[in-house]
Structure 1
Amino acid sequence: MSAPRVTLYDHDGNTHAQPSGGLLWVLLKQFDDVPGRTSMWLGRDESESDFMQVWRMADGYRLLVQQREGSPPALAHQLGFDAAFEALLAWNLGHDTWRTACDWRPVSWPPEPDTPPALIRIAYEPDHSRTNRIGRYADGQFFAIVHGTRRNALGDIGVALLLFDHTGTYTGSRIHNDVPLGDAHELRERLIAELPDVAYGDIAVRPFSVREGDIAWELVDQTAKHGMPLVSFYPMDIMFAPPWDGTYDT
């Protein structure tokens, strides 16, 4: 029987097709230099659900294996170098001896939550107009927005400075729903300049809703509507969902 097709993703982010045993030995040995560094991952037959992964921890090597989608993963830890290398090499070559190279214990992944987290992370993206003015200030966190509300007068746009405390609770806002487009960004910068000790970066805030006139500026849980954990930010129409890393869809 021919050996399986294996791709190795090493701890420096490099990719190796059909890695040799010698390469595995060298890369595994390099873990000794920095315990706890990023893991090394071997994927089989171009499948994301058939893999073996290795970390170097303070108490030895740790291996995680999953053979196919739907199968329970297994973990081996506190391994010495020889046992970890024997298991990796056997799995790499398609030999069943990886099963007896160390003491495998079944593990289960935690279930995906069916509700959003209490605080929704929003990633600071300096090159994206929607989230390029967010961060912290002396009294908490802020989100400054220039965006159309779909109800603006012709040639106008909405500008909002939304404020939250350090625990993510909404505390107030300054909202202008109809600002001439040519003045909107300058107004936003003036609102930010009034905040003390501004530092741009990711924020994490709780759902909220505030109305200015007939326009709602809000972060709302729409799990029930969509049948999956989902939070939307209006009027920008951006959506946050698992893995809740701060990125969004439109």
Structure 2
Amino acid sequence: MNVPEVIPIRHEPGYRTDTIGRCEGGQFFASVTAAFPEGWSGDDWQPRKRWYAVLHRFDEAGAHLDSRIEFTGTTADGERQAVAAAEALLEEWLDALPGRRYQDIVIAPFEVHFEGALFGLVVEVDDEEEDEEDRVRMEFYPDWLGFAAPWDGSYDT
């Protein structure tokens, strides 16, 4: 099974990978996203849907350096306010990146667990899939961006 060590992620202005790129010392992937605690299920989802500002940083080769993650509110508390707070925070963080340029990036899989939620680029293998090329994919959590062969930087949502 062919699992790439790093994968490209295409910068798409005005869409889900609008805030990715390079800066002095490496690369970054930033987003405003919602996450549920791992393993949670149920009907009362509004208080469990937690909003975050997220900034992952990587070295030039794509290895994960660190993640800055900050909770800004739940959907039950007011989704618009939580998203607006996360957007404002993310703008501050991005403005502080020296030499920031929005563009394609190339990163390796990584995992960060924060407040019971999974953040990262995770390798997933589907042993039920007959075509070996289709068995491996990578999912960017909690943003739900799926990457697969031919590993050209495009993604599914």
One-letter amino acid matched to 1:123:
R
Question: How far off is 1:225 after superposition?
Answer: 5.0
Deviations 1:143-165 (A, max 9, x none): 00111113574785111000000
Hey, which of these two has a bigger chunk of strand by percent? Answer: 2
TM-score normalised according to structure 1 size: 0.51
> Is residue 141 of structure 1 aligned with residue 35 of structure 2?
no
> Is residue 124 of structure 1 aligned with residue 31 of structure 2?
no
* Runs of 5+ consecutive residues of structure 2 not aligned to the other structure: 38-45, 74-81, 130-134
Structure 2 contact 72–86 (Cα < 8 Å) conserved: no
- Say if 1:155 and 1:242 are closer, same or farther in 2 by CA, change over 3 A: closer
- Separation in structure 2 between the aligned mates of residue 158 and residue 201 of structure 1, nearest angstrom: 23
Structure 1 contact 238–248 (Cα < 8 Å) conserved: yes
Structure 2 contact 62–108 (Cα < 8 Å) conserved: yes
- Separation in structure 2 between the aligned mates of residue 156 and residue 173 of structure 1, nearest angstrom: 17
Q: 1:249 is matched with which residue?
A: 156
- Separation in structure 2 between the aligned mates of residue 213 and residue 155 of structure 1, nearest angstrom: 12
Q: Equivalent residues in 2 for 1:69-88 (5 A)?
A: none
> Is residue 157 of structure 1 aligned with residue 64 of structure 2?
no
Q: What SS does the corresponding residue of 2:136 show, helix, strand or coil?
A: coil
Q: 1:199 is matched with which residue?
A: 101
Q: Equivalent residues in 2 for 1:221-240 (5 A)?
A: 221-224=123-126, 227=129, 228-240=135-147
Q: 1:66 is matched with which residue?
A: none
Question: How far off is 1:229 after superposition?
Answer: 2.1
* Runs of 5+ consecutive residues of structure 1 not aligned to the other structure: 1-113
Structure 1 contact 223–230 (Cα < 8 Å) conserved: yes
Structure 1 contact 116–231 (Cα < 8 Å) conserved: no
> Is residue 173 of structure 1 aligned with residue 67 of structure 2?
yes
| Structure number, greater radius of gyration | 1
